[in-house]
Amino acid sequence: MRAAIFCGPRSIEVGDRPDPVIHEPTDAIVRVVLGCVCGSDLWYYRGESPHSVGPIGHEFIGVVEELGADVDGIAKGELVIAPFLYGDGTCPNCRNGSIITCVAGGSFGNGEIDGGQGEAVRVPLAGSTLVRVPGSGHSEEMLRSLLTLSDVMCTGHHAAVSAGVATGDVVAVVGDGAVGLSAVLASARLGAGRIIALSRNPKREKMAQQFGATDIVEERGEAANEAVLEVTGGVGVDAALECVGTGQSMATAFAIARPGSTLGVVGVPHGVEVPFGDMFFRNVGWRGGPASARMYIPELLDDVLDGTINPGRVFDYETDLDGIPDAYAAMDERRAIKSLVRVGSI
């Protein structure tokens, strides 16, 4: 099969990989229909995080092609969403909702297991990992939104859930990438009364507004803090959602959080120093990390299928397998919010 291969920083090639086969009776082989590039993929693309040479991509939807003998609940030919991590669903961490720390779990596109930026993937623990999409004949727009449930929409939702966003809350979203935009949409879905999006990119500002942002703050650094505090009458926001992971974005999130609130943190941290003393004396807490997407997919899927939310709008760039190198470059250069990769058809 053909797949994108990470060869080193800024070096992605599309080449041949062995067709994946069933190793364990709990495996499934999924033929990829749509994949995409994650903001977190940019860390290794830029050489800022290590990544083994090999297959890549952890977000995809596809069609079940083969099933191990012990896989229940899904059938060949069904359309499925793959959460970006697989898990057994039964270990103490999974049962506690923290599927991302499943003792038997792992990730896709990590050098050992093929990724969603290729034609097919062996999915371990498929019965507890893959989520079947009901119905058929889904529109192109619907498929794009279904793809976001693999990671980005669940990650934005996790930011909002971690911060405890509730009806009427004033929320600020730091980061106007696809995760930040998804966090805006998730906050609106959870009933936030006011959503402040920090962005200085007209296209992203517009999308944030389409997703429910009521206020845009274009300032950065100290000026951004002051602008958000002004919007909130000097109090700070009920929930600050950190969707970038840099020291600067985290500092902004800390600064604009009202005393007693909890940050929702989903940006993979790079060079972040936590101002522990200040947070302590202001009773500002923090929760988050990688989202247990598998846990969130069912409830978000209902809202996607009935059209309540349309998170697929975050894809503003599209290519096929051969175009994957530029799909990364487009996001790296901020030409694209999020790059979709059309791999196959249903």
Residues that bind a second copy (CB under 8 A): 92-93, 96-98, 100-101, 162, 233, 235, 258-260, 262, 265, 268-269, 272-274, 276-277, 279-290, 292
Q: With respect to a second copy, which residue has the nearer C-beta, 62 or 180?
A: 180
In the complex with a second copy, the residue whose CB is nearer, 205 or 242, is: 242
Q: How far apart are CA 1 and CA 138, in angstroms?
A: 26
Question: At closest approach, how far in Å is the CB of 308 from a second copy?
Answer: 27
At residue 284, what are phi and psi to the nearest 5 degrees?
A: -95, 115
Smallest gap from Cβ 184 to a second copy, in A, equals 21
Residues 6+ apart with CB under 8 A from 154: 83, 291, 292, 293, 296, 297, 300
DSSP for 208-256 reads: HHHHT--EEE---HHHHHHHHHHHTTTS-BSEEEE-S-BHHHHHHHHHH
Cα torsion 188, 330, 62, 28: sign: negative
Closest distance of CB 49 from a second copy, Å: 11
Q: Is 97 left (phi over 0), alpha (psi -120 to 50) or beta?
A: left
Our CB check for a second copy shows the closer of 22 and 274 to be: 274
Measured from the CB atom, the residue of 172 and 207 that comes closer to a second copy is: 172
**Distance of closest approach, residue 254 Cβ to a second copy, in angstroms:** 12
Phi, psi of 124 (to 5 degrees): -70, 160
Residue 85 CB, shortest distance to a second copy, in Å, is 11
CB nearer to a second copy: give 1 or 91: 91
Give the neighbor-by-neighbor strand order of the sheet with 2-8: 11-16, 2-8, 54-55
7 vs 103, beta carbon nearer a second copy: 103
Tokens of 2: 């053909």
Write down the least CB distance from residue 309 to a second copy, Å.
24
